[in-house]
Every structure is written in structure tokens, then in C-alpha cells.
Amino acid sequence: MSFTNKKEERFSNISPDQQKKVQQIYEYLYEKEDQSEKGEILRALGISIVMFGLAIAIAFHYIGAPANVYDTNYAASTTENSTSDNKEAESDSTQDTTTEEIQQENTLEYVAQDNTADFSKCLSPDDYEKLTLDSGDTIVYPKNFFASFVKDDGVVSFKASGDYPEYNVYVSSAQNNDAIGEVEDKIGAYKSQMDSVSYQYPSDESQIKVGSDGYSKSSLKGMLDEAQNIGVYYVIASNGTTTKILEFKYNIDAEREKQQSNEDYMINCLYRGASFSGSSKDTITYDEYKQQ
């Protein structure tokens, strides 16, 4: 800023030396003022730059990074979620496979939910199907009679649409290392649960012996619940290591007129069809059964 242009009229009455000194003073002061103004401008510019940078950072944070910016935290989270989803999918697949296997194991030919437990339709050996157990033993079951079948850890179980009949086969480790003692214990336990016994073979536990196959065997029949007309039949076989039991529970036909009922014929077929029962003959016809 020029001293002459702005201030000469104010200092026209002083000497040239004084004017020169005054001019030097004013030039110094205005130079400082100019520097101060420049400093203010620079400071304002710096603040503006900082604020602009903050605005960009805030926008970057809330709007999101550009596509070419790789967020490692997000990537790690995505990878973890993907791994978790894969594990869940594998778990679901395993569960589905297990469920399918169980369903296949519990599906058996001639067993269906719409079956009716009609003994009069099971009066021929052809009305029975053979089944091989995991133990290698074989049994038979009536065709189109039971509504469900379950196989689980040494147990196979057939059930009708109602509570009875119920047909179970158990293969398990013996609790008594002695074959005869094991069968005697089982017979005693079952008899204690029955209201009455109509048949037992051998007729007394003291007559139980070990057969040539190393197994002791016995069979038992009677009323499990006389008030409810529930009968039961057992076949027990044990070699002191493994015990095999056939159990058949059924409703007694209170109106039956014949000595050998249809229920009894089915029991005879189940007994003869079980490979561990000790029967010397396979299933027989209904006429053969009546002639015994």
C-alpha cells in the first residue's frame, strides 16, 4: 500500500525528514497488516481444507467404500458367516441322511399304517414273512397285519394300529453268565408280572437244560392282565453270553368257541418261525395245527 497515495494530504505540513520517517513507519505498519491479512487467509484456507477432508471421511464412513476398497473386517465376517452356513448345511444334510436311514430301517414289506390286525387272515404259512435280524437269527411276522415296525439296538418291535397285538424280539447280552440260570431268572421275572400261567415248557424251571447248541430254552404263556383280557407269550433262549427273547402280547378272544383259536395258530407260527426257539419243524398249516 503506498503512503503517498493514501496519506500525503494528512502530512503535507511537516518537514521532508519527518515525512520520510512517517512514511517508513506507515509502510512498516501496512506491511504487517498485509502479512496479517495473508496469514488470516492461509489459516482460513487451511481450516477449509481440514473441514473438507472431514466431510469426505464422514461421507466415506456412512455411504460406504468404493468397490475397489477392500474391507478386511467385512471380508473376515463374510468368510466366517459363509463357513458357518456351510457347516449348518452339512449338519442339515447329515440329519436328513440319518433320518432317511432310520426311515428305511423302520420300513418293512407288508407293514403299513392302514393294516388291520385280523387273525382270521393269517391262517396259512404263506401269510407269514421271514425276517433276518442283525444277530443272524430269523423270525417270521404276519403279512398285512401290523401297522408299524421299529428296529433299534437289538430290538425289533411290531405294533398294530391299537395298543395290541404287540410283537417284540430282544437280543441282548446275558446278565447271568450261566445259560440255565439266565433262563430261570427271566422265567421267574415274567411269571411275577403275569396274572396267571396256562402253559410253561419245561413245566418246571428245574427241568431246564442246555441243548446241543449251547442254549437253554423255555416258553411261557398266560394272562398278563385278566381284567383287560390281555394275553402274553414268551420264548426265552440263552447261552450265558447272549439272551434272545420273543414276546407276543394280544387281546384274548373272549367269545372264542374252538379250543385252538386263530390267535393260538399265530403264536404257533411265531414260535416255529424263530430260529432260536428250538422248534424241530417250520410253520405248519392251520389244519395240521388243529390235529395236534
Average the pLDDT over 112-132 and give the result. Answer: 96
pLDDT on residue 102: 46
With cut-offs at 50, 70 and 90, classify the pLDDT of residue 106: confident
Within 10 angstroms of residue 128's Cβ, the number of other Cβ atoms is: 21
pTM (2 decimals)?
Answer: 0.66
Q: Which residue has the cell 458357518?
A: 84
**Radius of gyration, CA atoms only, the chain:** 50
Q: How far is CA 252 from CA 17, 166, 169, in A?
A: 146, 13, 21
Average the pLDDT over 169-184 and give the result. Answer: 96
Average the pLDDT over 144-168 and give the result. Answer: 95
pLDDT on residue 68: 45
pLDDT tens track for 49-98: 656 666 665 655 555 544 443 454 555 555 566 566 666 656 565 555 44
Cell of 230: 390281555
Q: What share of the chain has pLDDT > 70, as a percent? A: 62
User: Is pLDDT of 182 > 90?
Assistant: yes
pLDDT on residue 26: 53
Q: Which residue has the cell 416258553?
A: 219
pLDDT on residue 165: 96
User: What average pLDDT is seen over the chain?
Assistant: 80
Within 10 angstroms of residue 263's Cβ, the number of other Cβ atoms is: 19
User: Is pLDDT of 183 > 90?
Assistant: yes
